[in-house]
Amino acid sequence: MTVIRDFSHLHCDLSPITDSSPYEVRRAQELNNLLGLKGSTDATDMICDLHNTTSNMGLTLIRYTSSDWVTLHICKYLQTKITKVPVRVLVLDVPISDAHNLESVSKHGFTLEIGPQPHGVVRADIYIIMKEAVDLTIDWIHKFNSGTVFEGGDVEAFKFIKSVDYPRDPETRTLTAAIHPQLQDRDFCLLKQGDPLFFKFSGETVKYEEEETLHPFFINEAAYYEKGIAFHLGKKLTLKIPTVQVQKD
């Protein structure tokens, strides 16, 4: 197991590296050479990219495709073992060429996202759950490699649909509202027409106007202010996974 202490997203710009290439692009290509190549048969079997967030995301396994049964089986396994926080799967369903996170370099990897934890702070409760999740993921791999049969079935997942920005002043682009107290910390709740989204600094409430019920997540993540994201919206899916057992030689 290789531990890569690099939590930045992997922007795999494959243009030639020059002295003026930004550090992130250079590091992305180094990691791709070390652990990939992305999309090739030589790529690492699995990378877990460990992230934390100010959002109340519990423990969320994020994968760029809904068709990877390894992530889904590991999620199911973690759900039976971890009870202190909810364990969920989030799928992005984008082509591999548009998947920029570190785990997309590997064949069956995922981001392990955990929160809430402020940036620049270590919370022991969060640390302990993340360690448990990593230990259990390694457990699952050992069991799978030793021939254990993992039963298939249904796995609930959330699929990314779109992002929502904060209300902003049309001229200055500064924020005119914060996440509404009734939405704050309620990641993955069901959002219905009329539910409060934002608390305007003028005192008014901005409500959810759409007819489709969706699930918000990454609510009030510190790093997303500059990206123009107050939260993402997703749809709940039920995915089927096969019963699996390793093929022995």
Residues binding a copy of itself (CB under 8 A): 54, 116-125, 127-128, 175, 178-181, 184, 199, 201, 220, 222-223, 225
Amino acid at site 236: K
Longest CA–CA span in the chain (Å) reads 68
Name the minimum Å distance from CB 33 to a copy of itself.
29
What own/partner pairs with CB < 8 Å and gap ≥ 24 does 166-173 have? 166/198, 166/225, 166/228, 166/230, 167/198, 167/200, 167/206
Residue at token pair 């914060």: 178
The smaller minimum CB distance to a copy of itself, of residues 3 and 122, is found at 122
Give φ, ψ of 100 to 5 degrees: -105, -5
Going through 146-246 in order, the beta strands assigned E by DSSP cover: 153-164, 177-179, 196-200, 205-207, 215-217, 231-241
Name the minimum Å distance from CB 85 to a copy of itself.
13
* CA–CA dist 36, 70 (Å, integer): 18
Name the minimum Å distance from CB 193 to a copy of itself.
21
Name the minimum Å distance from CB 120 to a copy of itself.
4
The smaller minimum CB distance to a copy of itself, of residues 64 and 198, is found at 198
- Residue in 24, 30, 103, 113 annotated catalytic: 113
The smaller minimum CB distance to a copy of itself, of residues 55 and 71, is found at 55
How many angstroms separate the Cα of 128 from the Cα of each of 11, 28, 84? Answer: 29, 29, 10
* CA–CA dist 95, 106 (Å, integer): 14
Catalytic site includes residue 113: yes
* Cβ neighbours for 24, distance < 8 A, ≥ 6 positions apart: 8, 11
The smaller minimum CB distance to a copy of itself, of residues 68 and 113, is found at 113
Name the minimum Å distance from CB 26 to a copy of itself.
26
The smaller minimum CB distance to a copy of itself, of residues 128 and 190, is found at 128
- Active-site residues: which are they? 113
